[in-house]
Amino acid sequence: MNTKKLNQSIVDKIAEMLDAEKIQSVLTEIEDFHPEDVAELLERLDLKHAKALLYALPDEKAAEVIIELDEEVRAQLLLDYSGKELAQEVIENLDSDDAADIISELPQERIHEVLQSLEDPKAREIADLLNYEEDTAGSIMAKELVKVNASWKLMRCLREMRRQAEKVEQVHAIYVVDDDDRLLGTLSLKKLLTTSTKTPVEEVFDRKIVSVSTDTHVEEVARLMRKYDLVVIPVVDSQGRLVGRITFDDVMDIMKEEAERDYQMASGLTQDVESADSIFALSKARLPWLLIGMLGGVISSRVVDFFDISQFPEMAAFMPLIAATGGNVGVQSAALVVQSLANDSFNESIIQKLLKDLGVGLVTALVCASLMFAVTAALGKPFNLSITVSVALISVIVFAAMFGTLVPLTLNRFKIDPAVATGPFVTTTNDVIGLFIYFSVAKIVM
């Protein structure tokens, strides 16, 4: 890595330099820093120092740093910028998608102020982007792209691209459109470089192209880009006209958020938190599942009371085992369904799926039950109790497997995020129903 790596001693050194108001030395020190690392530096400095440093950065660099900042730090640092400064020093130096992101975070009256200080076409482009619904391709796309007309010769393409490239930071694809701006395909850099400059675009461009429309959901965009290994995907409007493009890095962020959300849901956290958050925020994210789990615990206690445990006190010893196994099996089944749904790899019908889970349930149930039969016998437990535990285990595992499969499928059918199922609902329900089955079997056997 050529870019310098940030560590605490560099942060301390820079804080000292800022205290001594040696701003020029700081700028030299961080000259080779990647914007992402400068952003991290600002986040670690105290607010006063961070403001001084951000203010001293050249406009273009400052803009690149600002988009990398944490949303909250960004809000604080931008507080002192007037609408006009924001427009001219920050927004003008950003691609339209990043600009729209930052503007959308501002309070309503400031949005208006900033948009008024921008010149067209930037102002119009951003206002346009702000209109798309959240989580659609339109809301995350950028307007900057390089496009050529199918009827042009390659020589003219090079000339026009030279003009367009001034505005575009990185050129990942050259789009080919017709006279009405409708997307026809792409022109590869390879073709552009290796074909005679007198050849018309239509003879050499690639018509196979995957595009999305402005209202495509971002998760679908992510899925398509991943499936087809795309760096960039073009966005078209309802008439098929090319209106923007989405690059892989925005999609990576979405994928990552999605995976983290599922993971947190599976671990019983109900809010997007990280360990650096406050004790209050962390407690708030944890309590809902704990409370649902406790509600399950209270219902379990009613089940135990209902069957009058004092009649068979020796049954108590295996209650944790029955409840835990039911919960575990349910989560496993639910997680597999959630993953299949996320990967869109669902070729089996619900019936096939349930039949298979019945099979898996039976196999695992028989293994677990025979093992527990042997263990309880070895522990010298009464024969009736061994039978009760084993029969209950089989019923609990099979039931939990089917239930764990059915719940996320049902949630998905009703357009609720199926990952919810790997959290509170399935585990708790299986705990309770597991105990119910256990005692019901006991009623018959013992």
Range 22-41, binding its own copies (CB under 8 A)? 32, 34, 36
Of 179, 174, 181, give the one whose Cα is nearest residue 239. Answer: 181
Residue span binding its own copies (CB under 8 A) among the ranges 15-23, 114-122, 127-135, 341-349? 341-349
Instruction: Give the position of tokens 């299986």.
Output: 430
415 part of the interface to its own copies, by CB under 8 A: no
Distance of closest approach, residue 1 Cβ to its own copies, in angstroms:
5
Which position among 54, 177, 336, 398 is part of the footprint of its own copies (CB under 8 A)?
336
280 part of the interface to its own copies, by CB under 8 A: yes
Considering only residues 289 through 308, tell me which ones interact with its own copies, judged by CB under 8 A: 289-291, 293-294, 296-298, 300-302, 304-305
Residue 123: count other Cβ atoms within 10 Å of its Cβ.
16
Phi-psi category of residue 163: left, alpha or beta, with phi > 0 → left and psi -120 to 50 → alpha: alpha
Distance of closest approach, residue 107 Cβ to its own copies, in angstroms:
28
Considering only residues 184 through 203, tell me which ones interact with its own copies, judged by CB under 8 A: 185, 188-190, 193-194
Residues 201-220: x where in contact with its own copies by CB under 8 A, - otherwise, as a string: ------xxxxxx--------
Residues 138-177: x where in contact with its own copies by CB under 8 A, - otherwise, as a string: --------------------x--xx--xx-xxxxx-----
Which position among 273, 354, 387, 445 is part of the footprint of its own copies (CB under 8 A)?
273
Residue span binding its own copies (CB under 8 A) among the ranges 99-107, 124-132, 147-155, 265-273? 265-273
d(CA 326, CA 433): 8
Which position among 13, 124, 227, 443 is part of the footprint of its own copies (CB under 8 A)?
227
Distance of closest approach, residue 127 Cβ to its own copies, in angstroms:
25
Instruction: Give the position of tokens 């499936």.
Output: 227
> For the CA atoms of 293, 297, 298, 303, what is the dihedral angle to 10 degrees?
140
Q: Which is nearer to its own copies, 189 or 416 (CB)?
A: 189
Considering only residues 347 through 366, tell me which ones interact with its own copies, judged by CB under 8 A: 347-348, 353, 356, 359-360, 363-364
d(CA 369, CA 373): 6
Which position among 19, 59, 203, 260 is part of the footprint of its own copies (CB under 8 A)?
260
Which position among 120, 180, 276, 349 is part of the footprint of its own copies (CB under 8 A)?
276
Which position among 23, 106, 204, 309 is part of the footprint of its own copies (CB under 8 A)?
309
- Structure tokens belonging to residue 389: 């535990």
Distance of closest approach, residue 150 Cβ to its own copies, in angstroms:
14
374 part of the interface to its own copies, by CB under 8 A: no
Q: Which is nearer to its own copies, 124 or 302 (CB)?
A: 302
Which position among 319, 396, 406, 433 is part of the footprint of its own copies (CB under 8 A)?
319
